[in-house]
Structure 1
Amino acid sequence: MTLVEGAEAATAAVPDRPLRRNRDFLLLWSGASLSFLAARVTAVAYPLIVLWHTGSPLAMSVVSTAALLPLLLVQLPAGALVDRWDRRRLMLVCEAGRLTAVGSVALALAAGRMTVAHLAAAAFVEASLAVFYRLAERGAVRNLVHPAHLSAALAQNEARGRAAGLLGQPGGVLLQSAARWLPFGFGVLGYLVSALSLLLIRKDFQQERPDRTAGNRMADEVSEGMRWLWRQRFLRAALGYVAGTNVLFQMLALALILRIKEAGLPSATLAVVVGIGGVGGLCGALAGGRIQRRTRQRTLLVGGAVAWTVLIGAMGFTSEPVLLGALYAGTGFVGAVFNVAAAVYQVRTTPDALQGRVAATAGLIGSGTNALGSFAGGVLLAVWGAETTVRAIAAAMAVLALFAVVAPDLKGEITDDPTDTDTGTGTGTGTGG
């Protein structure tokens, strides 16, 4: 099916039942919810377990780095393989592999035979399989729901991720306080239930596509996804914008920690601020689908950058915890709406056979700027302190808002209007926006 045919089908067909009665989507969503929660619980447990057993910050950083490396090393090949292999089978393999990895850690901790090398290897395997699972699941959603329900489905996915973050971090801490192996035992249970839910889904997770396993080099397939993304003028410019905002938010996360310390507030205050901010992100995810359906992407980009500028700027003039939390919640609300809108646009406009590679490339661009933001934030905080750095972040966000206003490529989004085209693609109309 082409993008034009997909747009016509989405316009002509009417859903025969509401999303809440879509059995296959509910099975995927609920299973993935437990999978995401299990990943959050084990993610916070890894560094805690290492520090508790060894007392070494260096050992803790080794394990933490092992869990982050897949974001840089695995995404591009994972995208190509997701587009090559059957998505359901791949997701089942991912859950079986993650269950085995965290299960081995639970057994080792229960037996008192934990080693740093074992934890680092388990963290790397679990995080690598999580990359594959996430890419396959995003591509699968559009094949399980009616096109009219896609934005609502992806909004629920965003809310699921935000809720997993809110519950997973404190949950991981509490479980490992009760017994060191419990977070990983919970991971085994979560991945097992997720795998069982996948087995119960009836629909196919992808459209018919040619066999690309023979005669194709991995590099060629990765390049195909990159070339397609580069030809999408709006997506290309929007990703540059997103990369810039990610740099600033990595800086802001560090600045908030120092802001609280400079104000002489207890370290627990940070948990209050981040917790309130997490609630804002969850609310944004729940509202994101409705906002996305009523607002053009460019309007979201400009309006969101302006809102971020005001909210972050206000953080530079207060150290009161509840107010900081409220302002941080505002930034989280806008960020969650952005995530929903970006996911809907990317999934709708990308051909099914390229879903994995395009999502992987976009994810690499977005997450690849995180290290730069952390480094730059550390330098600025050392030179200027938290207050001035936060104000500088707000000024930089204002520059990005101006970029969103004047950038010509951000005026070329594909919308639900069948006469609307992205003149840089040569692919005709799509169904995004």
Structure 2
Amino acid sequence: MNTLRGPGLFRNRDFSLLLSGQLVSAVGDQAHFMALPLIVLALTGSATQAGFVLGLGTLSFLVFGLIAGALVDRWDRKATMIWCELGRAVLTAGVAVALWLNRLTMPQLYATAVLVGILSTLFQVANTAALPNVVGPRQLSAALGYSQSAAGAVGIFGASLSGALYAVGRTVPFAVNAVSFAVSAASLRLMRARFQVDRQDVRTTSRLTTEIREGLGWLWRQPVIRFLTLVSAADKVRYGAGYLLIITLARQVGASPLWIGVIFSGAAVGAMAGALVSDRATRRFPLGRIAVVMLWLEALMFPLYALAPNPLLLAAVAAAESLVAPIYAVAMTTHQLAITPDELRGRATSAVSTLTTGALSIGTLAGGALITTLGAKPLVWLCGAWLLVLALLTTANRAVRQAPPAGALPQQQATSAAETADMTG
């Protein structure tokens, strides 16, 4: 396997195929999810129903996430990902066809949202669990960094492209997304890497609940991952409330819809910049230091939203506040994947994602009520105080402070991945 860093990662044919397929799929997803609420509003005139349809994907992850992790550890990960992409292509194409025939109904949209959410959950868990086997331990943090950068690029440019596709025709975003899923499935089919370590003792007769408990039990016995997952979940509550909070603050300083888009583009630019340096930071700095720095910067910068007098400064705050989060995400995920046995990666990944996704949902649901009750600026200060508490708790945690650089863990602990170094051939 190629162990070079940086550009050498793209000489790994399998990773290039994986990343390119996911980039195309992400563009299709953005077009889909921009068009979806507009379609629901056209059908029903109800913003409540539009929000409900959008929320069904998150709800699917919360309900199905732990089960998905156990299934991903049972099943062939590559085949699972391919079938998920093909299933999403068929479901999304069905929406496009129904729109074209003027026969789209809300029950079809609800069913599509639930089924696509389930398949997306399976795909995401399988993808994260498989990545160390696709790129190898030395290139894991670099691969995660490139994935974060690609997501940032889609966030910056995807909105404009999505608007242009919808302007061409209301069926176009859904048709494009269906094609993007098919492209992703084709790229996965062309990959030669093993997506999991060969295991002769895979259990398909034991109860799923037993396997889920095994994954949760292993995760709970890891003090660094356990603590940082709980902190990340607590931070996601604030993050979920922050989306509507920033929109409210922007409107209070007279921002137009265009400027609101600029503010969130600023956040995407900051996140992309952080992702570009995440590999180097992950290899150089201890995980605990990255976590502490991120939380302190967030605690110090988030209150600046309440002080920004115009949309331009709001965009600057959003860019600065978003800079460190991708670095932490790469460092944390690298650490988690490096120390997790391959046969448990699906369950560990799904447990972490389910907890943080649930916290994000709570924050999103509570954000509107808190803004109405407290007001936007007081809520900013409350979120800042919440982040300050998290920063103090993380700084005081000895296990986190002593955690080594996440980029060094694969050479020390990911022996199972090292034993499969021939997987790209």
Question: Is TM more than 0.5 here?
Answer: yes
8 Å CA contact retained: 1:380, 1:389: yes
2:23 to 22, 33, 44: 33
Q: 1:123 to 1:376 in 2, by over 3 A?
A: closer
Question: How has the CA–CA distance of structure 1 residues 240 and 416 changed in structure 2, closer, same or farther, with 3 Å as cutoff?
Answer: closer
Paired AA for residue 198 in structure 2: E
Q: 2:114 matched to 1:131?
A: no
Are the counterparts in 2 of residues 15 and 146 from structure 1 also a CA contact under 8 Å?
no
| Structure 1, 39-48 or 360-369: larger mean CA deviation | 39-48
Match of 2:95 among 89, 105, 120: 105
CA contact (8 A) 1:67 1:120 kept: no
The equivalent residue for 2:222 is: 232
One-letter amino acid of the structure 1 residue matched with residue 256 of structure 2: P
Q: 1:341 aligns with which of 290, 306, 331?
A: 331
Q: What's the % identity of the aligned pairs?
A: 32
Does residue 65 in structure 1 map to residue 48 in structure 2? Answer: no
Moved more, 124-133 or 74-83: 124-133
Q: Does 1:77 align with 2:67?
A: yes
Q: Tell me the secondary structure at the aligned position of residue 74 of structure 1.
A: helix
Cα displacement (A) at 1:372: 2.4
Computed over aligned residues only, the root mean square deviation of the Cα atoms, in angstroms, reads 2.3
* Mapped partners of 1:110, 1:380: distance in 2: 41
CA deviations on 1:120-159 (whole Å, 9 max, x unpaired) are 1112222221111111111222112232111101111111
Partner of 2:312: 322
After superposition, give the CA deviation of every residue in 1:235-273 in whole Å (9 maximum; x if it has no partner).
000011111111112222222122122223333321111
1:430 aligns to 2:413 (yes or no):
yes
- CA deviation profile, 1:352-378 (whole Å, cap 9, x unmatched): 111111000000111111232234433
Of the candidates 159, 168, 173, which is equivalent to residue 183 of structure 1?
173
SS state of the match for residue 117, structure 2? Answer: helix
| Shift in Å, 1:57 | 2.1
Question: 1:143 & 1:155 partners in 2: Cα distance?
Answer: 16
Aligned match of 2:140: 150
Note the C-alpha offset of 1:174. 2.5
Deviations 1:305-338 (A, max 9, x none): 1111221122221131111111111121111111
SS of aligned partner of 2:200: coil
Preserved contact between residue 286 and residue 406 of structure 2 (Cα < 8 Å)? no
How far, CA to CA, are the matches of 1:296 and 1:150 in structure 2? 16
Aligned to 2:83: 93
Which deviates the most, 113-122 or 210-219?
210-219
Give the superposition deviation at 1:211: 4.5
1:141 lines up with 2:131 in the alignment: yes
Q: Which moved more, 1:263-272 or 1:178-187?
A: 263-272
Larger mean Cα displacement after TM superposition, 306-315 or 35-44: 35-44
Contact kept? 1:234, 1:412, Cα under 8 Å: no
How many corresponding residue pairs?
Answer: 413
1:90 Cα deviation after fit: 0.5
- The amino acid that maps onto 1:322 is L
Secondary structure of 2:205's partner?
Answer: coil
- 2:260 aligned with 1:277: no
What are the within-5 Å matches in structure 2 for residues 300-319 of structure 1?
Answer: 300-319=290-309
Q: State the SS of the aligned residue for 1:265.
A: coil
Match of 1:7 in 2: none
Partner of 1:319, secondary structure, is coil
Post-superposition offset of 1:350: 0.8
After superposing the two structures, state which structure 1 stretch, 56-65 or 408-417, moved more: 408-417
Find the residue that maps to 1:316 and give its secondary structure: helix
1:150 and 1:344 in contact (8 A); partners too = yes
Provide the C-alpha distance between the structure 2 equivalents of 1:75 and 1:210, rounded to a whole number of angstroms.
25
Match of 1:259 in 2: 249
Q: Aligned in 2, Cα 1:142/1:415: closer, same or farther, shift over 3 Å?
A: same
Q: CA deviation at 1:274?
A: 0.6
Q: Per-residue CA shift, 1:173-228, capped at 9, x if unaligned? A: 32222211101110121111111111111121111113534321010111111001
Deviation at 1:414, TM superposition (A): 5.3
Q: For the residues of structure 2 that align with 1:77 and 1:356, how far apart are their CA atoms?
A: 10
Higher deviation after alignment, 175-184 or 250-259: 250-259
Normalised TM-score (structure 2): 0.91
Gaps of 5+ in 2: 416-425
